[in-house]
Amino acid sequence: MSRALPQVRRRRGWRAAAIAAAALLAACVALVAVLNRWAEAPLPADDGPPPTAAAPQAVARGEYLARAGNCMACHTDVGGVPFAGGRGIETPFGTVYSTNLTPDAATGLGDWSAAAFWRALHHGRSRDGRLLYPAFPYPSYTHVTREDSDAIYAYLRSLPPVRQPARPHALEFPYGTQAALAVWRALFFRPGGLEPEPGRPAEWNRGRYLVQGLGHCAACHSPRNALGATQDAGALRGGLIPVQNWYAPALDTVHEAGVADWPAEEVVALLRDGATPRATVTGPMAEVVFRSTQYLDGADLRAMAAYLQALPGTSAAAAGRAPRPEPPRASMERGAAVYTQHCAQCHGDGGDGRPGAFPALAGNRAVLLDTPVNLVRTILQGGYAPVTPGNPRPHGMPPFTQVLGDEDVAAVATFVRNAWGNQAPGVATIDVYRARERRGR
């Protein structure tokens, strides 16, 4: 009798613990479900496309906004029809394929209503109720207004319909499940707009809307956690672009890509032309200028400049770096020899470049970033500015991936980061290997 009593008590304890665990699990499931429907209204009963075509003014406005959002870049496969989808977007969890945005009834947006399209942008939910993967940057597009969403929808409906079925995503388990996506959204996504800040000028508020909303700049210029969610997206403090492994430099820091100390007209010129006397865009940002920002009007470019210049960040004095140890002499000598043979003809013996043609390397912020990944990838893959009306014949840099081995690339990168008064950590051969393999640290 005395032995049986503790066993009964233990069984009762286990039963109570199991009941408590089940209750906690049910509560978590209910919370995830509630958070995934947060502030989301159901689609109207008569959900469907409009019976008549939109006004030409709405279509033109939507085309402009689609350019601002750079929609075509992801929703067009290489060699494919614009907006017909099918482009693979690599993520650390597998590949997500973009969808068909043309008005084809069977495979595109032909049967979608403006309300369903708005729900996809604002809530990240498809017309059929499925949750959308955040490779489609709805954490930023949730800030897009309903008016602008309707205009983009009108433009997409004006396109020729293209029959192109969606390709199934190729995501690792469990990331390809709706349950995992629901948990991710419950943790990291809340829908909501950007209310104008009354203490700020209208131009600043417009710039914030374009940068944080349609432009989805935080998708690249913010760090991400282990589950791929952006961290402190509003600060734009820089981050490694997943899988691509280009570093999108911080926009709030003057020693990376901050523009607080630039004349406003130069910020506008960089977004419009892709080049100014002090900077040239290459890598992923070149595509942004080529496909998107060069088409924005002057007022919107000035608004973006005003917002970017007002970002709270590191001052010029605080951004100064502490003295760095000098790199090994042998590495500098080897790098100097490689530079003389392959680089000096364009960038100059003193790293001063050639104005209007080849950028200076002495004092160049892109060269001096704490992470050398962009410099290494430029040496390997070349550097190409976008073609724009303001820079119709940009000079390009050839790739050296077939010319230089890892040791030479590391040496010349170390040299340019520490010559002519530059001072930055040296580059190791493992950094070059990672860049060749597109691997982050």
Q: What angle do CA 242, 133, 63 make, to 5 degrees?
A: 90
Tens digits of residue pLDDT in 231-254: 887 789 999 998 988 999 999 999
User: How many helices (DSSP H) and strands (DSSP E) are in the chain?
Assistant: 17, 9
Report the SS3 class of residue 190.
coil
Q: What whole-number distance in Å separates Cα of residue 128 and Cα of residue 318?
A: 51
Instruction: Tell me if 293 sits within 8 A of 271, measured CB to CB.
Output: yes
Report the SS3 class of residue 383.
strand
For residue 264, how many other CB atoms are within 10 A of its CB?
14
Tens digits of residue pLDDT in 68-103: 999 999 999 999 999 999 999 999 999 999 999 999
Average pLDDT, the chain: 90
pTM of the model: 0.89
Q: What are phi and psi of 398, to 5 degrees?
A: -70, 155
Q: Check residue 51 and report its DSSP letter.
A: S
Report the SS3 class of residue 166.
coil
What pLDDT, on a 0 to 100 scale, did the predictor assign at position 34? 57
Report the SS3 class of residue 96.
strand
Q: Alpha carbon of 164 to those of 112, 114, 250: distances in Å?
A: 16, 21, 38
What pLDDT, on a 0 to 100 scale, did the predictor assign at position 25? 60
Q: Check residue 82 and report its DSSP letter.
A: T
Weakly modelled stretches of the chain, pLDDT under 50: 316-317, 440-441
Instruction: Tell me if 233 sits within 8 A of 222, measured CB to CB.
Output: yes
Q: What whole-number distance in Å separates Cα of residue 70 and Cα of residue 219?
A: 13
Tens digits of residue pLDDT in 193-223: 999 999 999 999 999 999 999 999 999 999 9
Residue whose token pair is 């303001």: 390
What pLDDT, on a 0 to 100 scale, did the predictor assign at position 325? 80
What pLDDT, on a 0 to 100 scale, did the predictor assign at position 441? 44
Residue whose token pair is 């390009």: 396
Q: What whole-number distance in Å separates Cα of residue 324 and Cα of residue 341?
A: 27
**Helix spans in 80-227 (H):** 114-123, 138-141, 146-157, 178-188, 202-209, 218-221
Structure-block tokens of residue 48: 């469907």
Q: What whole-number distance in Å separates Cα of residue 62 and Cα of residue 320?
A: 44
Nearest to 100 by CA among 114, 87, 119: 87
Phi-psi region of 358 (alpha: psi -120 to 50; beta: other; left: phi over 0): beta
Report the SS3 class of residue 91.
strand
Q: What whole-number distance in Å separates Cα of residue 111 and Cα of residue 134?
A: 23
Q: Check residue 398 and report its DSSP letter.
A: -
Report the SS3 class of residue 138.
helix
Q: What whole-number distance in Å separates Cα of residue 248 and Cα of residue 256?
A: 9
